Amino acid sequence: MSEMSRRNFLGMVGMVGGAAAAYQMMTTMGLAASSTYTKPDLSGGGQGKTVLILGAGLAGMASAYEMQKAGYDVRVLEFDSKAGGRCWTLRGGDEYTELGGFKQTCDFDRGLYINPGPWRVPHHHHAYMHYAREFGVKLEPFIMENWNAYLHRKADGDKPALKMRLAEARTDMHGHVAELLTKATNQGSLDQTLSAEDKEKLLEALHEWGFLNRDGKYVQSLAVSAARGYERDPGARLEAGTPSKPVDLHTLLDRNLWSSILDGMFYEFRSTMFEPVGGMDALARAFESRVGRFIEYRSRVTEIKMDAEQVTATYVDASGATKTASGDYCICTIPLSILSQVKMTGFDAGLTEAIKKVPYAPSFKAGVQYKRRFWEQDDDIYGGISYTDLPNQLISYPSNNYFSGGKGVVLGAYMFGTDALVMSGMSPEERMKKVVEYNAQMHPAAAEEFDTGISVGWHRVPGALGCYGLYSADTRERYYPTLCARHDRLMLAGEHTSYWNGWQEGALLAATTAVDEMHKFAQGQA
């Protein structure tokens, strides 16, 4: 299910059943669950014991950090030349080459960046918050909801392009639904459900919730404009403001305008959200500064073999030489999209089958540097996200450096599914041309203000081959327990062994629980 269709589906669930129903559906889909972080208890120590960790993303480095503190001899093999995995920030001067040979150089101005992987941190991600506090990683608010951002629909046949503020769509939806419910209530349609007292209170609530007039109608007025915004803002003295005209209910439904006003109601997107100051890789760099001495970079694992005494990884190092590394225990954080191509020897068939059954979501992101911050200067948008039904799906505006006179970088596209595959199949130059074209349909200034940009198609990133593990209800039931279990001397860890899959929290929770379980096994307690 693509990101846009997934959002629409969850929105429909929320409209019918409310936030609780939407949250339950997200849990089923593996998109939400309570963060259950508990600091690992490695009492007893690990002196004299060795742990081989495969992968130096957040899960691998968190595992290494906790186990080396307990006295274990730790060794980490990492495919890339840097640590952090999908926790990645691109800044001016950075280069990377994707599968197929396209090489890009980031030309952003100093201080500007884009986060191709994770780009926001919910306040209830307690494992992330724990390590951020411990390492002194500074966080700033990430503006998820900005009701002044845009909701855009492209021209479709005889339907013209449409652009409105999110606040306008939200207020109009409230108003029209409140008017319909008021009419139904007054006609006695809810008499079997409501007592006379509840009916009276509901009508009062609907009047305020929907900004209805005395006749229970949602119509153009200054009172309505106080919520949805004005055609012309109030001013001094006798300038009361000009009321804006609501969009009719048919248009709201026909153009699917209600779907993008729901994101903020979901638990994973609820305020306050955060981002590290200066780029999402701040936590990865903090981990790396503490465990980097244990990491062997540019080490491509080709086989993992377990026997009664140890786990051994065969790998190709930076020089092309084939080597081996062993440990009494192993925590493997290699993404399943990569691990499925690694030879597994000495493991039961159930594990090797499960590894191959979880696909990874194709995703595409584009960071676009513009010559000026026209979204602020022309449109009064400071942070937040504008949504569109164009293939780029959204524009996310920077949540920092407001009012700066120089250039600015937006997330100009965040695409999933077929759209991501199509876009990633183009050359980097063709991709950016398309992204700017899409951005300009929402912000006309984008065409003339474009400066430079960089893009990442996650299914073409060599060390990941996808954005995150994509579970269905069936694969959660049939294969997920196997992937989460300890297999004698080996455990898997990463966002794919968490109900917070797709989030850094999932990687950290999976790591700390793997560390706990492996330590108990080493101590003879499991």
The residue type of 382 is: Y
Q: Given a cut of 80, is residue 4 above it in pLDDT?
A: no
CB-based burial of residue 244 (10 Å sphere; 0-12 exposed, 13-18 middle, 19+ buried)?
buried
Quick one: tokens of 409? 């970088």
Q: Given a cut of 50, is residue 430 above it in pLDDT?
A: yes
pLDDT tens-digit map of 27-36: 444 444 456 7
Residue pointed to by tokens 């929105």: 11
Q: What percent of the chain has pLDDT over 90?
A: 87
pLDDT, residue 298, reads: 98
Architecture of domain 164-254: Up-down Bundle (1.20)
pLDDT tens-digit map of 207-236: 999 999 999 999 999 999 999 999 999 999
Q: What percent of the chain has pLDDT over 70?
A: 93
pLDDT, residue 50, reads: 97
Q: Given a cut of 70, is residue 335 above it in pLDDT?
A: yes
Which H/E stretch holds residue 295?
Answer: strand 295-296
**Length of the chain in residues, anyone?**
526
pLDDT, residue 35, reads: 63
pLDDT, residue 215, reads: 96
Considering the four listed CATH numbers 3.40.50.300, 3.40.50.2300, 1.10.10.10, 3.90.660.10, the one that applies to the domain covering 90-148+361-460 is 3.90.660.10
Q: Provide mean pLDDT across the span 37-54.
A: 89
pLDDT tens-digit map of 384-402: 999 999 999 999 999 999 9
Q: Given a cut of 50, is residue 288 above it in pLDDT?
A: yes
Sign of dihedral through CA atoms 299, 300, 303, 304? positive
Residue 119 marked ligand-binding:
yes
Q: Provide the 8-state DSSP code for 101.
A: S
Q: Given a cut of 70, is residue 15 above it in pLDDT?
A: no
* Cα separation, 180 vs 190, whole angstroms: 12
* Cα separation, 113 vs 411, whole angstroms: 10
Q: What is the CATH number of domain 42-79+301-357+469-522?
A: 3.50.50.60
Q: Provide mean pLDDT across the span 282-288.
A: 98
pLDDT, residue 525, reads: 83
* Cα separation, 189 vs 73, whole angstroms: 71
Residue 301 marked ligand-binding:
yes
Residue 117 marked ligand-binding:
yes
Tell me if residue 368 falls in helix, strand or coil: strand
Q: Provide mean pLDDT across the span 5-10.
A: 45
Q: Given a cut of 80, is residue 275 above it in pLDDT?
A: yes
- In order of 312, 316, 337, 460, the CA distances from 302 in angstroms are 11, 7, 14, 19
Tell me if residue 294 falls in helix, strand or coil: helix
- pLDDT-derived band at 325, boundaries 50, 70, 90: very high
pLDDT, residue 43, reads: 84
* Bridge partners (DSSP) listed for residue 73: 50
pLDDT tens-digit map of 134-187: 999 999 999 999 999 999 999 999 999 999 999 999 999 999 999 999 999 999
* Cα separation, 400 vs 49, whole angstroms: 46
Kind of pairing between the strands at 121-122 and 242-243: unpaired
Sign of dihedral through CA atoms 377, 380, 386, 389? negative
Q: Provide the 8-state DSSP code for 381.
A: -
**Alpha helical stretches, state H, 77-150:** 126-135
- In order of 67, 269, 449, the CA distances from 399 in angstroms are 36, 15, 20
Domain ranges of the chain: 42-79+301-357+469-522, 90-148+361-460, 164-254
* Cα separation, 506 vs 416, whole angstroms: 20
- pLDDT-derived band at 20, boundaries 50, 70, 90: very low
pLDDT, residue 203, reads: 96
CB-based burial of residue 214 (10 Å sphere; 0-12 exposed, 13-18 middle, 19+ buried)?
exposed
pLDDT tens-digit map of 490-499: 999 999 999 9
Q: Provide the 8-state DSSP code for 134.
A: H
Q: How many CB atoms sit inside 10 A of residue 393's CB?
A: 23
Summary mean pLDDT of the chain = 92
Contact between 278 and 140 (Cβ < 8 Å) = no
Q: Given a cut of 70, is residue 379 above it in pLDDT?
A: yes
Q: Given a cut of 90, is residue 8 above it in pLDDT?
A: no
Residue 120 marked ligand-binding:
yes
Cα 419 to the center of its chain, rounded Å: 17
- pLDDT-derived band at 45, boundaries 50, 70, 90: confident
Q: Given a cut of 70, is residue 466 above it in pLDDT?
A: yes
Residue 460 marked ligand-binding:
no
Cis peptide before 272, with omega less than 30 degrees from 0? Answer: yes
The residue type of 334 is: I
Q: Provide mean pLDDT across the span 423-437.
A: 97
* Cα separation, 421 vs 432, whole angstroms: 15
The angle subtended at Cα 298 by Cα 294 and Cα 299, nearest 5°, is: 75
Residue 118 marked ligand-binding:
yes
Quick one: tokens of 116? 């191709």
* Cα separation, 289 vs 4, whole angstroms: 38
- In order of 15, 153, 179, 254, the CA distances from 409 in angstroms are 34, 23, 42, 33
